[in-house]
Structure 1
Amino acid sequence: MMLTVNPPGAISKSQAAFLGNITLFCKLPSAAIHRKLPAGIHCNLPSWKDSRKLTTHHLVSHRVAPKRWLCQSSGSVSSDDEYRSSRNIAISLFRRYRNVIDRGGGDNLKEFISAGVNAYALGCTDEGLRKELIAMKESGIEIEAMQNYGGSTSLKSKICAEEVDECILWLSIIFITILCTPQPTIVRWSSTPPVSDDVLHQWKGFCALIANAYYIRGMAWLPVKTLQLEQMAVVGRAEEPSVVASRMRLVFSTLEVVSPQWPRV
């Protein structure tokens, strides 16, 4: 049975009319649905065979102008070239990932998320971008750091395997979070699934729990223990609390970027 999502009263009447007749776009693991989700939601993800029947749409968001997702590059790759190839997209994402690691979250994290949303909308897959980064790692290419505000830098460093894995995991979580938003929050140019079945199985319940809290209860945080229990139910182990908290922050921040619910102060 498909139940509709009723968003919090803080959003506009037009948004409420739109969101009131749609469901979250993913299905939680059966072990977690009755344990943690409130009664207001049950979401169902179409099979990948069904997804291949989707038609190609224009790169738009129903509430955000297209130019929002074509974020400007602040590095050596020009804004005109940044999304011209999967290689350039991979470089853009990786440099922004490093920027978050080196300089902290906040605006840096939003920059990474915006680049990830662009990649989703343009039809990229997490494994496709992983292959691009691995190919660059194996060839010994050095990636230039993002420019500092008010100045420039020529610092370059090689890519390591651990960085690739974590960067692509972040990207996968962003992609799955978009799948957990009321449709069509971000329209995708390709019918190719953005993430593999295994990755989707591992993270869809995690992201949907957070999306559930965000849309239905107007929350911006969940108990870490709740999310650790979800991980235990799905993969039999849970990450450290600090790591789980950082994953949760990535999901909530993605929701704030692609589907803002409250006016900015």
Structure 2
Amino acid sequence: MLQCRSHDSNSPDDDYHSSRNIAISLFRRYRNVIDRGGGDNLKEFISAGVNAYAVGCTEEGLRKELTAIRESGVEIEALQNYGGSTSVKSKILAEEVDECILWLSIIFITILCTPQPTIVRWSSTPPVSDDIRLQWKGFCAVIANAYYMRGMAWLPVKTLQLEQMAVSGCAEEPSVVASRMRLVFSTLEVVSPQWPRV
């Protein structure tokens, strides 16, 4: 069963023709952020995540795709470095799948936290499981509220750690919480820009 509705795409590598292609494309962009840092790389990952949301992908469906690829032992080629012809292939690790899908889930939940549906979804299937939604909705909502109501682009990490404590009884390291916050704010900037570009 296809987890994402396929549609005609003019993307250079037909990223959006199957849930497998979408999963690979997202994973390559995720790895790019990890290897080369955020900024534009993070925006590319978020844009790919927003597209996956729009075409009806689910966090569970994409996790299954990446897990199947990992278990088959297929190596994923890194995104090309412009101008360079070196390509690095490597196997997918289980923890990479978990973290990539968590990032994606946070993007999906952030979209759900926007006041009006900023991204139209082609599927009525919920994008994330109830467990993930319950775990992360408050976190994303606190940030979305700060973004829309107070025009903020940053929150104290302590505030978000308290939110995590309230929901799951433990909080992540400050640096991890800060990177998750950056992911939410960057997603909001992509799907619902509030300020004119300088």
SS class of match (1:204):
helix
Shift, 1:152, TM fit: 2.9
- Asked if 1:185 is matched to 2:125, the reply is no
**More helix, by proportion:** 2
Q: Find out whether 1:262 has 2:195 as its counterpart.
A: yes
User: Partners of 1:152 and 1:71 in 2: how far apart?
Assistant: 24
What's the TM-score once normalised by structure 2's chain length?
0.94
Aligned to 1:173: 106
> Cα gap change, 1:127/1:71 in structure 2, threshold over 3 Å: closer, same or farther?
farther
| Structure 1 residue 140 corresponds to structure 2 residue 67 | no
Which entry has the higher C-alpha Rg, 1 or 2?
A: 1
Q: TM-score, normalised by structure 1?
A: 0.70
SS in 1 for 2:90: strand
**Which residue is 1:157 aligned to?**
90
Letter aligned with residue 86 of structure 1: S
In the alignment of these two chains, the number of paired residues is: 191
| Alpha-carbon RMSD | 1.3
Q: Deviations over 1:207-233 (max 9, x none)?
A: 000000000000000000000000000
Unaligned runs of 5+ in 1: 1-58, 60-69, 73-77
Contact 2:57 2:127 in 1 (8 A): yes
Query: Aligned equivalents of 2:35 and 2:85: distance in 1?
Result: 16
Q: 1:71 to 1:99 in 2, by over 3 A?
A: farther
User: For 1:124 and 1:71, how far apart are their aligned partners in 2?
Assistant: 19
Hey, what does 1:216 align to over in structure 2?
A: 149
Distance 1:156 1:145 in 2: 6
Q: Which residue of 1 aligns with 2:159?
A: 226
- The question of whether the paired residues in 1 share the 8 Å contact of 2:161 and 2:171 is answered with yes
Partner of 1:94: 27
Provide Cα deviations, 1:87-121, integer angstroms capped at 9, x if missing partner.
00000000000000000000000000000000000
Q: Which has the higher contact order (CA 8 A, sep 6+)?
A: 1
- Conserved in 1, the CA contact under 8 Å of 2:56 and 2:127? yes
SS at match of 2:28: helix
Deviation, structure 1 residue 150: 2.1
